[in-house]
């Protein structure tokens, strides 16, 4: 079985299900997102080898999601759209998509396109990209595991998502509001103090395991992940 992971992003349940069945039958591991915001959250806290991305979606459209991903990653992206006009295809490609398919489409052709894009981009050849390694600590975005001094640290899902997000963007400050949106979602109506509580628990667990203090407070802003020299 292939260990390659593909994120399928489409607001139509049936389309995600059909694509998922075909990809699973080919041996891929498949994740799903129903809108652009969920897609970005999953991209930022998990590892993916390729993303199938619908253009017309609620909350954030596929072109915006593609732009955001391309700011930090060259993960292959195949865009889907109900619009089959050339201008839409060109727009998607200009913003960094690797390929483009109009709806309705053949799932078998999509699988063939995925394989072609993976061959062209060399996807799957870099086996360690899902591992974030720091002095005394490693974060596995696929297994969702954290090791400190080679020993596992038990984190809640939200604690892991916070750590993964901050670690993937080492040195970049995030406000509490940004962390709340990225990890809990735009529809979450909780207080920003929720972020502080989770950060404190995360720090306590990492310190208890013997890790350096990687998560720094940026006064007046929020938090960032920083490796001590």
Q: 196 pLDDT exceeds 60?
A: yes
pLDDT at 96: 84
Rounded to an integer, what distance in angstroms lies between the CA atom of residue 149 and that of residue 186?
35
Segments making up each domain of the chain, as ranges: 5-121, 131-225
pLDDT at 184: 85
Q: 8 pLDDT exceeds 80?
A: yes
Of the pLDDT bands very low, low, confident and very high (cuts 50, 70, 90), residue 18 is very high
pLDDT at 37: 93
The one-character DSSP state at 79 is E
Rounded to an integer, what distance in angstroms lies between the CA atom of residue 66 and that of residue 201?
33
What is the residue-averaged pLDDT of the chain? Answer: 87
What six digits make up the tokens of 221? 């802003």
Residue carrying structure tokens 């870099």: 126
Rounded to an integer, what distance in angstroms lies between the CA atom of residue 220 and that of residue 49?
36
Q: 2 pLDDT exceeds 60?
A: no
53 bridge partner residues:
9, 79
pLDDT at 141: 87
Rounded to an integer, what distance in angstroms lies between the CA atom of residue 105 and that of residue 103?
5
- Which CATH number, 3.30.450.20, 1.10.3720.10, 1.20.1060.10, 3.40.50.2300, labels domain 5-121? 3.40.50.2300
Q: Which of 22-26, 32-36, 46-50, 119-123 has the lowest mean pLDDT?
A: 119-123
Q: 228 pLDDT exceeds 80?
A: no
Q: 169 pLDDT exceeds 80?
A: yes
pLDDT at 131: 86
140 bridge partner residues:
131, 145
Give the pairing of strands 215-218 and 222-225.
antiparallel
Tens digits of per-residue pLDDT, 40-95? 999 988 889 999 999 888 889 998 999 999 988 889 999 998 766 565 666 667 77
Q: How far is residue 109 CA from its own chain's centroid?
A: 25
**Model confidence pTM above 0.95:** no
Angle at 7 between CA 5 and CA 8, to 5 degrees: 135
* Dihedral (CA of 177, 217, 172, 75) sign: negative
Q: 201 pLDDT exceeds 50?
A: yes
CATH 3.30.950.10 fits 131-225, yes or no: no
List b or e across 86-122, with b for residues whose CB sees 16 or more CB atoms inside 10 angstroms. eebbebbeebbbbbbbeeeeeeeebbebbeebbeeee
What six digits make up the tokens of 141? 């975005």
Tens digits of per-residue pLDDT, 205-226? 999 999 876 899 999 899 999 9
Tens digits of per-residue pLDDT, 109-162? 999 999 999 888 777 655 556 789 998 999 998 888 999 999 999 999 999 999
Of the pLDDT bands very low, low, confident and very high (cuts 50, 70, 90), residue 16 is very high
The helix/strand/coil state of 126 is: coil
Q: Which of 11-20, 100-109, 181-190 has the lowest mean pLDDT?
A: 181-190
Q: Using CA atoms in the order 55, 56, 60, 62, what is the torsion angle rounded to 10 degrees?
A: 0
């Amino acid at each position: 079985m292939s260990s390659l992971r593909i994120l399928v992003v489409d607001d139509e349940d049936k389309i995600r299900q059909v694509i998922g069945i075909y990809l699973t039958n080919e041996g891929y591991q498949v994740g799903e997102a129903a809108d652009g915001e969920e897609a970005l959250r999953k991209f930022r806290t998990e590892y993916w080898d390729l993303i199938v991305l619908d253009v017309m979606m609620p909350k954030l459209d596929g072109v915006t999601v593609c732009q955001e991903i391309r700011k930090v990653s060259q993960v292959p992206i195949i865009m889907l759209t109900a619009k089959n006009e050339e201008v839409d295809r060109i727009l998607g490609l200009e913003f960094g998509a690797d390929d483009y398919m109009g709806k309705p489409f053949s799932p078998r052709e999509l699988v063939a396109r995925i394989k072609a894009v993976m061959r062209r981009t060399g996807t799957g050849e870099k086996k360690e990209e899902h591992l974030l390694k720091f002095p005394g600590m490693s974060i596995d975005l696929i297994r969702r595991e954290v090791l400190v001094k080679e020993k596992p640290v038990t984190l809640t899902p939200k604690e892991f998502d916070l750590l993964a997000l901050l670690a993937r963007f080492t040195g970049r400050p995030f406000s509490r509001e940004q962390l709340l949106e990225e990890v809990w979602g735009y529809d979450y109506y909780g207080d920003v103090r929720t972020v502080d509580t989770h950060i404190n628990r995360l720090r306590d667990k990492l310190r208890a395991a013997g890790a350096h203090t990687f998560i720094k407070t940026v006064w007046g802003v929020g938090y960032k992940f920083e490796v001590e020299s």
